[in-house]
């Protein structure tokens, strides 16, 4: 009687582990498909576009630095 319970427990263990393994394989496959789809629909910007984006980012960084510097100076004047 106990042997049958152990055997059935092992069967359920393999059934559960197999189900999880199958789910993970399907999940990995679908994520790869989605990744390929996104790369096809939204390709990486070319070098020319990247240079313009970097220039814009540098200007934004300069504005942020100026705002932080002004805030610190204002705080020091009040304190």
The domain locations on the chain are 1-43, 47-79
Q: Cα dist. 32→18, 37, 43, 49 in Å?
A: 21, 9, 16, 27
Q: Does residue 7 surpass a pLDDT of 70?
A: yes
CA-wise closest residue to 14 among 28, 6, 27:
6
Confidence of residue 2 (pLDDT cuts 50, 70, 90): low
10-69 pLDDT, tens per residue? 999 999 999 999 999 999 999 999 999 999 999 887 766 666 666 777 778 888 999 999
Predicted confidence at residue 1, as pLDDT, reads 57
């Amino acid at each position: 009687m106990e042997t049958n319970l152990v055997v059935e427990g092992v069967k359920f263990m393999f059934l559960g582990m197999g189900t999880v393994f199958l789910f993970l394989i399907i999940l990995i496959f679908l994520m790869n498909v989605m990744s390929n789809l996104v790369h096809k629909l939204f390709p990486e910007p070319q070098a020319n576009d990247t240079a313009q984006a970097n220039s814009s980012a540098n200007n934004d960084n300069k504005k942020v630095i100026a705002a932080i510097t002004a805030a610190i100076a204002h705080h020091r004047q009040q304190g």
